Every structure is written in C-alpha cells, then in structure tokens.
Chains A and B, each alone.
Chain A
Amino acid sequence: MEDLIPEIKEKLITQLNLKHLKPEDIDENEMLFGTGLGLDSIDALEIIVMMENDYGIKFTNQEEARQVFTSVRTIAECIQSHRL
C-alpha cells in the first residue's frame, strides 16, 4: 500500500492542477479538504473521476466519497481494499 501513496500524490498534483506543490508538500496523513491545500467541491468531483478512470472504483453516494477522500492515506486504503 505504501507504494500507492507517492502515486496518488503525483496524480492529485496533475489532475487538480496543483502545480505550485511537490509530492513532499502533501502529508499523506493530513486532511485533504478544509486545509492548506485549498481544495474545493470541484476537486472532490475530479477525484471521483480519477478513482473511476484509474482504479475502476465507482462512488454511488457523495457521503461515501467524502469519507474516502479524508486524506491521501484513506484514498490509498480504499484502492488497496479494492485490489484484494
């Protein structure tokens, strides 16, 4: 699962156009939303698309997505659990 973390950080920077950030600027344990990253509702929708396109994970309700998108680590855990 640890190998997923840098991959997700890279993807977030590309998909969400966070060109001012480097992967090491994102703490995988920190909250993604409502913190210094300045992510908004469109970013959340964009991560939903990323999860479906790149990992085949579909979210049927927004509350479920909200919980998964807490941090980079929780996203990695979600992807990992779908691989099992």
Chain B
Amino acid sequence: MFGFKTINTAEINLSGDVPELEVQLNDLYSSMNIQYPKFYKMNLLCKLGFLTCEKLIPNDWKRDVQPAPDKIATIFFNKYASLASDHFHHKYLHEDQLPSPSVFVYTLPNILNGELAIRHGWTGYNAFFAAQNEEEMDYVLHNARISQVFDYVVTGWVETDLSRKKIFARMKLMEVTTNQSPLKDEKQVND
C-alpha cells in the first residue's frame, strides 16, 4: 500500500506571443533572484518548468528533509510536447536556412526533466507523458511508482500551448506515504 501526500504546489500562467512570453519569463527569472545563466539558453517549456519548480521547492524543505537525490522522481505531462521548439526548427527548414543546434536539442519534452536534474542534482526516475487531459495524471503516477520505487515526486502539467497563446504549469511536490493505515485526506491505493 502506498499513497501520495502533497507537500507543496506551485503554478505559473502566462499569455501572449512567443517574444512576449520570453520577456515575461525572463522578467520573472530576474525577479526571483536566481543565479543560473543557463536559464537564458532554455526553450519556453524548460524556462516555464524551471521557474515553476523554483517556486515549488521550498529551501527549508531541502534543508530539513535532505531527500536522497536518487529518490526524487520527476514525472511531467502535457499535450503539445515540445511544439514551440519544433516550430522553430521547422521554420529553419521551411525557409531553407541552416537549422540551429541549440533549437534542435530542445525538441524533446523530457529535456525539462534533464534541466531539473542538472539544476537540483536529482538522479532518480524521470518520465514525460503525453496525455489527453489532467485526469490521467493520478493513474499514471500510481503506475510509475509501481514500476520503480521513489520517495518524492515533482510532478504536474507543463504546457506551451501556442495555438491559444498561453503557457501554464501546475506542479506538485509529493511525498510517497507507505503508511498501512488509510490517510484521511489522501487517496490510498493497493500496491
């Protein structure tokens, strides 16, 4: 038996065209007093996920709990994968220009997991799922935890939806509870 207990949540919602979104994300980064120049190299999806995760992980939690880096999983979901970066790579091809290596390396959604692994030193389970809607997340999360043991999971929906000119991330930091007695406010499932 195991369940998931939410420790913290964080959210970012922005809207606009790509250049506007870039400015908004860069401004948000500057306002958060983070020293991480690699941020500027990321694509929209990673910038969005990176900043949401910065808000999600409380400093005192890291200090107090000292979670083992290999027991923190990152599992993300979205519908449009890395479409924003795909668009730019395609644009080079369409205009018969040389493609950009730094654009192409971001044309995979799981690069977000990689960026967070680099930032936080996490070495555990990581996955990116393309799902139809947010209702599927709990089911998948449960299956993933059966496939491999982890103690904490950073999870959520991270979307760069260019068709609606909006980007949003809703993340949760959750602890895996293995208490035998059912928790009051958390769904418990059979292992």
Contact = CB atoms under 8 A, between A and B. Distances in A.
Per the CB under 8 Å rule, do A and B touch in the complex? yes
B23 to A, nearest CB: 11
- Report the contact-size class of chain B (Cβ under 8 Å from the partner): 10 to 19
A57 interface: no
- Between A16, A20, A43, the greatest number of chain B beta carbons within 10 A of the residue's beta carbon is seen for A20
A11 B102 CA distance: 15
A16 B101 CA distance: 11
A18 to B, nearest CB: 7
Contacts of A21: 37
A46 B102 contact: yes
Contacts of B40: 17-20
Contacts of A17: 40-41, 102
9 contacts: A16-B41, A17-B41, A17-B102, A19-B37, A20-B37, A20-B40, A38-B38, A42-B105, A46-B100
Interface of A: 16-21, 38, 42-43, 45-46, 49, 52-53
Q: Which 10 A-B pairs have the closest CB atoms?
A: A45-B101, A19-B40, A17-B40, A20-B37, A17-B41, A49-B98, A46-B102, A42-B102, A42-B101, A46-B101
